A = this chain, B = another copy of it.
Amino acid sequence: MKDNLKFAILSTDIAVFTVDETSIKVLLTTATSDAFKGMPALPGGLVGPEEKIEDAVKRILKKVLPVKSAYLEQLYTFGDPDRDPIGRVVSATYLVLIPWNTAKLVDRQGASWRDVRSVPKLAYDHNEIVKTAVKRLVGKLAYTNIIFSLMPQEFTLTDLQKAYELILDRKLDKRNFRKKIGFLGLLDKLPKRKEGEANRPARLYSFSEKKLRELEIL
């Protein structure tokens, strides 16, 4: 079969990331193809003949995550002829980001969240995809407002700072962080506080705009 395919099979594999209080997490499912059956793998599947790749991504996502909207971005296309033993399968991979509060509801398909810094050996070239995705996310953090895609609707400045710290893997100075973020004018100050904790209640904020913009962040 491998030798006389005239066309490539088009598939997509998806690195779905979220950030909780402790780490970046990636969504893993279980491979079903013969060659990798039972191994952990990124969610993915074939792209229909009349389907936009991005529509396939959304369709596949819906099967595993009950998520209404999410940030999607094409990552890289892996097309080596031998990456799938079944034949020429070209995978246009995507990065998907969702806020942790909308991510808790994974239930179908045996999907689970794994800390991105300790992913096991995955099927296909999926470890490489995860690596590429992390690099992309870290890179975009520095010059875009992409963080909005990982935050819940309302959050405190400490929540936001923690998300940056987790992704960048370094501590930030609280006062300098707040100075910078405030200056950028991306946030709306809400007339609410996060009450009910044994300390001074934190003011809540939301993003005034939820689409990707380029700007100097770090």
Contact = CB atoms under 8 A, between A and B. Distances in A.
Copy total for this chain: 2
A81 interface: yes
Interface string A45-80: 001011111000000000000000000001011011
A79 B92 contact: yes
6 contacts: A3-B49, A4-B49, A5-B49, A7-B10, A10-B90, A74-B77
A86 to B, nearest CB: 12
Contact of A51 (B3, B49, B53, B81): B81
Nearest to A56: B79
Q: Which of A7, A10, A74 has the most CB of B within 10 A?
A: A7
A7 B46 CA distance: 10
A18 B5 CA distance: 36
A9 interface: yes
Contacts of A47: 8, 79
